[in-house]
């Protein structure tokens, strides 16, 4: 597993330390790829080709606002609360839980 983030690297180091202290399994290779699936968030603009992946939501947010794959305009607007979205599927997710939705 290629470690993308300091937090995962620290966690893996702690696991290795405990493994070495308790089991003495130097010849065993442990697959940590499940950590990537559990904690990694792909860039919102991955739909447009951005390969970046993050653990921290704040880092993801900062990257997404500057991402070179970000669309130029927000074409999708919630008619109830006027929030704009880059992608159609994000608008539909929002509409399902929109607090301003007319009943």
pLDDT, residue 67, reads: 94
pLDDT, residue 6, reads: 65
d(CA 94, CA 78): 8
Q: Are 80 and 98 in contact (CB under 8 A)?
A: yes
pLDDT, residue 31, reads: 62
Better pLDDT: 31 or 1: 31
What is the pTM for the complete model shown? 0.54
Beta-strand runs (E) in the chain: 41-42, 53-54, 76-77, 84-85
Residue listed under structure tokens 């968030």: 41
Could you tell me what percent of the chain has a pLDDT over 90? 28
Residue 2 pLDDT grade (very low, low, confident, very high; cuts 50, 70, 90): very low
Structure-block tokens of residue 17: 């330390």
**Segment 50-88, tens digit of pLDDT:** 998 887 888 888 999 999 999 988 889 999 899 999 999
Residues contacting residue 73 through CB under 8 Å, at least 6 positions apart: none
Neighbouring C-beta atoms of residue 25, cutoff 10 Å:
10
Beta-strand runs (E) in 18-83: 41-42, 53-54, 76-77
Residue 76 phi, psi dihedral angles, 5° rounding: -115, 125
pLDDT, residue 85, reads: 92
């Amino acid at each position: 597993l290629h470690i993308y983030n300091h937090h995962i690297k620290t966690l893996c180091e702690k696991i290795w330390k405990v493994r070495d202290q308790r089991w003495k399994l130097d010849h065993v290779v442990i697959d940590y790829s499940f950590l990537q699936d559990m904690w990694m968030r792909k860039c919102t603009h991955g739909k447009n080709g951005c390969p970046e992946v993050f653990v921290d939501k704040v880092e993801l947010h900062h990257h997404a606002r500057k991402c070179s794959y970000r669309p130029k305009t927000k074409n999708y607007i919630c008619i109830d609360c006027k929030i704009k979205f880059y992608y159609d599927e994000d608008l539909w997710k929002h509409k399902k839980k929109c607090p301003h939705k007319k009943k």
